[in-house]
Amino acid sequence: MNVLKRRIGLEQEFFLVDEAGEISSLGDEFLQTCHSLAAAQNISPNYFVPEFVKCMLEINTPPAYTGTELAQVYIQNLKLAIAAGQQMGLRLYPLSSYPLHIMPVMRDKPNYHIQARTVGYDRFLHAGKCTGTHIHLEVPPGVIDPRVAVSYNSTSTQREELLNIFNLATALDSALISLARACPFYEGQAIGLAAHTIRYRGSETFGWEGVYTHLQPVGGLMPYAETVESLVEQQFARYYAWLEALDQAGIERQQFLAAGGSLLKSAWNPVRLNKLGTVEVRCIDSNFPSVIIAMIALLEKAAHRVRNEQLQVKPTKEVKTFVVSENYLYVPEFEYLNGELLYAAATEGVKHPQVKAYVDSVLQFAIQDNGEDAKYLTKLRADLDHYQSIETEILHQFTPATAELSRDEGLRLVRKCCDKLEAQVLWLDNQHPLASLDDDVIISDATWL
């Protein structure tokens, strides 16, 4: 098993706004400009793609062998998109929700209409009001088969690696939510919750009204897989749950298949198998590059350590943090992970003592892999008592925090976030992106209004 050749990739969603900070539906025109600039710079236009609403777009990267390589191409593509916006009087707003009320315009494509009809149009629109970041962890080539989830021809070693990376990504869910919390405002309100998490995945248990509140097998965090066989069973169980939801909505299953639907494309979970040959981690808020690069470092190092030391990721009731013993990485059991811990992560975040202890153990685990980004993660762990997410930084500028955001305040906040994004990209374009995380200037700016 050559663990040194596993790659990592990134997708980040952004809102498109005009110079005043108002939401813009000129996504198609903006992407055309991106494609023209990309062609002139010998960059693939495939890294700049539309999302299901016209005010949102996605910037992707090619797979990279190191976090540094990934961060560099990520900044390169962001720089190009910012330049495209400057030509058109448009800007990228990077945080996980637009702070004011919006009514996004959905693209007229069959697969989007099928999803909307199945979950309900009003509920589905939450997906057009919040943005996320997806990080892809490569698994052995060919081990993921889009038709049957796991290839019959894969070796036991390959299947074991897939299983452990899937379970590791699952175990990291609440840590990534807590550290990357971005915008505190949703529809003009500071709701005191991680808006992207609750409005996208939802939860009947916690009363979170989101896209997949009543379809958790399709959009919620799936349980750990004890064996490869149970991982495959999980994929098919989710697929049939979606097909049954189509039936209840009066949609012929053939329509879903004709629109490109399949076993793996019926998954919008925070952790899912991707036909690209990756475990895709989808629970991270869209945020500033400083935060996203830190999440890249954390995921890359944690995954590399599991592979390099051939650790078996094992959930257990006896622990509420990451604990390494011999050849095992013991992680919190699913009931706690997706229950009490998730609720604490989505409400208090790192300020909650149980979340803090869990995040501390995650950072300690990743740091042990060493490497160039271990210095920043070590610093982050040392300062965890005083950690402030971007969400917390912004909230400190508003009194009272629960008050409704005025339109002028909301637009100023949007413009400030666009300014900060552009300043970070300009800075990081001339720096070693991982080493630059040690510079407090790039991490924090307390002035938001």
* Total domains in the fold of the chain: 1
Segment 274-303 mean pLDDT:
97
Q: Mean pLDDT, the chain, as a whole number?
A: 93
Segment 1-20 mean pLDDT:
88
CATH at residue 45: 3.30.590.20
Longest Cα–Cα distance of the chain, Å, equals: 60
Spatial distance between the Cα atoms of 349 and 175, rounded to a whole number of angstroms:
9
Is residue 428 a contact partner of residue 442, using CB atoms and an 8 Å limit?
yes
Of the candidate ranges 55-64, 85-94, 141-150, 369-378, the one whose mean pLDDT is the lowest? 369-378
pLDDT of residue 435: 67
Segment 35-57 mean pLDDT:
97
Kindly report, residue by residue over 433-444, the tens digit of the pLDDT: 766 666 554 444
**pLDDT category of residue 269 using cuts at 50, 70 and 90:** very high
Q: Is position 253 within any domain?
A: yes
pLDDT of residue 441: 45
Kindly report, residue by residue over 343-361, the tens digit of the pLDDT: 999 999 999 999 999 999 9
| Partners of 250 in the β-ladder | none
Task: Give DSSP secondary structure letters for 113-174.
Answer: HHHHHHH-HHHHGGGGSB-EEEEEEE-STT-EETTTEE-TTS-HHHHHHHHHHHHHHHHTHH
3-state secondary structure of 398: coil
Segment 117-143 mean pLDDT:
96
Judge if pTM exceeds 0.75.
Answer: yes
Q: Is position 400 within any domain?
A: no
Q: Is position 240 within any domain?
A: yes
Q: Is position 59 within any domain?
A: yes
Q: CB atoms < 10 A from the CB of 262, how many?
A: 13
Spatial distance between the Cα atoms of 403 and 385, rounded to a whole number of angstroms:
27
Q: Is position 78 within any domain?
A: yes
**pLDDT category of residue 5 using cuts at 50, 70 and 90:** confident
Q: What share of the chain is helix, strand, coil (3-state, %, to 5)?
A: 50, 15, 35
pLDDT of residue 446: 44
Q: Is position 338 within any domain?
A: no
Segment 242-255 mean pLDDT:
97
Percent of the chain with pLDDT over 90: 89
As given in the structure block, the two tokens for residue 371 are 């490497």
Output the 3-class SS for 233-298. HHHHHHHHHHHHHHHHCCCCHHHHHHCCCCCHHHCCCCEEEECCCEEEEEEEECCCHHHHHHHHHH
Is residue 151 a contact partner of residue 144, using CB atoms and an 8 Å limit?
yes
Q: Is position 386 within any domain?
A: no
**pLDDT category of residue 430 using cuts at 50, 70 and 90:** confident
Kindly report, residue by residue over 304-343, the tens digit of the pLDDT: 999 999 999 999 999 999 999 999 999 999 999 999 999 9
Is residue 132 a contact partner of residue 286, using CB atoms and an 8 Å limit?
yes
Q: Is position 319 within any domain?
A: no
Q: How far apart are the first and last CA of the chain?
A: 52
The pLDDT of residue 272 is above 60: yes
Between residues 5 and 442, the one the model is more confident about: 5
Beta strand spans in 56-118 (E): 56-60, 90-93
| Cβ-proximal residues to 310 (8 Å cutoff; 6+ apart), any chain | 1, 327
As given in the structure block, the two tokens for residue 311 are 């650790």
pLDDT of residue 1: 46
**pLDDT category of residue 3 using cuts at 50, 70 and 90:** low
pLDDT of residue 399: 60
What is the span of the domain harbouring residue 257? 3-295+405-432
As given in the structure block, the two tokens for residue 88 are 């058109």
**pLDDT category of residue 432 using cuts at 50, 70 and 90:** confident
pLDDT of residue 321: 98
Spatial distance between the Cα atoms of 184 and 191, rounded to a whole number of angstroms:
7
Which candidate, 151, 155, 162, 145, places its Cα nearest to that of 6? Answer: 162
Q: Is beta strand 132-138 parallel, antiparallel or unpaired with respect to 328-332?
A: unpaired
